[in-house]
Amino acid sequence: MTLPDLTRFDAVLFDLDGVITPTAEVHRHAWRAMFEEVFAQRAIEPPYAEGDYFAHLDGKKRYDGVAALLASRGVELPWGEPDDGPDAETICGIGNRKNAVFERILAEEGIAPYPGTIAVIDALDAAGVPSAVVSSSKNAESVLAAAGIRGRFAVVMDGVVAERDELPSKPAPDVFVEAARMLGVEPARSAAVEDALSGVESAAGGGFGLVVGVDRGAGREALTAAGADVVVADLAEFVAVG
């Protein structure tokens, strides 16, 4: 399969977790540890499984993911407030509990970006094509800083900005469309790169000229069904293009 030349687009918008950095692995570990404890405390069945991450959590804003997963087990909790403590029995409290675990792992272990993604960003920079980050995570700025690459991106649309501007989370297209507007480009002339099914749906719904799916576990067929135009195992596959 011949891959399109990303440098021919007006901009390329990247998801963060699983596309730029392997933070998805840290997120999956933190979600699993936290939900196994919550499920055990509440005797919730069936137990948390890895498939729950892809079905309910991946690509969504933290609190939306908590609500979606609990709803899948028929559990409803008060939403609470974003400043709820991690012990609060609310959607926000549970989300903050997970975030505390994530931040501890990030601080202890750091994070390194995927070499293939950095190679693509290098090629885009050389061609004068701007890059942006479009992430549901409220940790995006700290992750980019920990990886030493914050300065590579003209725009960072993350969970903090989305909440401030009252933008719905992926799979709604709003965050990708707004990031394109902030870059001063048209979605139809830009490319979006995602590894989450909800993120692919978001970019496809936003009318992007190219939607690239990176298969980190969601599955090639599922990414294609969600709206990916092409699917790769790693962005390094694009480096030789053009």
Range 107-114 contact pairs with CB under 8 angstroms and sequence separation of 24 or more:
109/26, 110/146, 110/147, 111/21, 111/22, 111/23, 111/26, 111/143, 111/146, 111/147, 112/21, 112/22, 112/147, 113/20, 113/21, 113/147, 113/149, 114/19, 114/20, 114/21, 114/22, 114/234, 114/235
Single-letter residue type at 206: G
Catalytic residue positions?
A: 15, 17
| 69-to-24, 172, 173, 241 alpha-carbon distances in Å | 17, 18, 21, 40
Q: Which of 234, 203, 223, 1 is nearest to 118 (CA)?
A: 234
Strands 131-134 and 12-14 come out as parallel
Give the H/E segment covering residue 210.
strand 210-214
